[in-house]
Structure 1
Amino acid sequence: MSTPDGTPAGIWVVIPAAGRGSRFGGEIPKQYLCIDGQPLIAHALDALLAHPRVVGAMVALAADDALWPGWTERLGKPVLRCIGGGERADSVLAALDALPASVPADALVLVHDAARPNLRTDDVARLIEAAAASADGAILAAPVRDTLKRADADARIAATEPRERLWRALTPQAFRRDALAAALRQARADGALVTDEAMAMERRGARPKLVEGREDNLKVTTPADLALMEFLLQRRGVDAAGERG
């Protein structure tokens, strides 16, 4: 289905990819590191675009990004790009503003990390279902299962923190287009550094739904993460080949 200007109607994906990945190190931004012949961002895009309700993606890139492969579509769906900002929130807001005008103000938009490639389509489906039923949106998350320690200034244990009702925020995170844009603009005006989209929404009183996602929906942050992700994606390929056989 298309809108009058020819843009597909449905759910759009926003991927902030303007960062350099300083914690990872190296000359190549981590979203362009390859596993199985594809950069991490390609795996992330394909995992989202594979869902039938997702109709396109907007990727926010650094102004001097010379590594973007030039995709205009993947899996038969449009992949658009815009210039991002210095912080994640700036890139997400730039991407929201760059979405086609035909994308309604109350349309669900999914925001996903460029270096989180091991996303499963069934998690996307459950997230979309939960976000569509919640005025405040929803995020994929995982309950904290490890014992948590609070440290003092000398890196000694100061206390053991209760883990009940604590979750690790994952992506994608799903919110209405204009509500998220307004929340990000408000955070910027207040000088607040928000580390994910849910945090911006929470500052305006929203209570997004937590949707339990797979533990292996990991973000590549260090070289060790990359090695683990390579194993996980190769294992997926082997499992898929076995199912087809």
Structure 2
Amino acid sequence: MTREPVMPRLVAILLLLLLSNDALAQIMSKPRPPAQGAVSPADIAERLEKSANETARMVPKAARGSAIDFAWPMTAEEYAATAKHVLVLVSVVTQDAAELPLRRVHIRAGGKDIELVRLSHELVGVSKGSRTFSVLGPYREDGFYLAPADAMMAEGYLQADFATRRSDFNLYKLPGTAPDFIRSDKNPVPPPDSKPDLAVVKAMIKREYKGFKPPTFERAMLPFTARLAGLEF
């Protein structure tokens, strides 16, 4: 099969600004222009650093912050092999280690709450000399998730629930911009009797996110939904 160019990936960075001990406000930046090619850990670190610099112009510290990136299937064949799912990378930084690992990542759209499938997560060190460390926090987690294509194209929010204190933390304002062949799908809902081909998912991660630790697809981290109950590892 001929390899097609990598589809554009939209990136958004969310900041949670600490205005006082009791009052919190979230500021989401506008989506960045579509990015081409693979994303590296250094790219995500750079996005967090820019977020920290922006935050520092308004307040000395934030309780937590995040950067996300998502990659749509590149071809119709890959779309079918992933059972109509989108690959999502969520990177969060916090001042409090007790907030990690994330309890869950979910989409709230159309009155529904849809939990994403967590494939893996990893605690990542934050450079002590960085603005990210001093403003957003020293504790960072990177995680890979699968999101239903229909939910990613709906009006709503991609959100995270931290282990403690903070739930429904807005990561991204949906909808995302899907490739034409996915937008033309009249039924982008993952079939209830299908399951993603994890070999294809792993290949996507290696292609789109070079330098990240390959996931081991932790069974314990998967939500037991009817849609994905058939996943095998």
Taking structure 1 as the reference length, the TM-score comes to 0.25
Max radius of gyration: which structure? 1
More helix by percentage: 1
More strand by percentage: 2
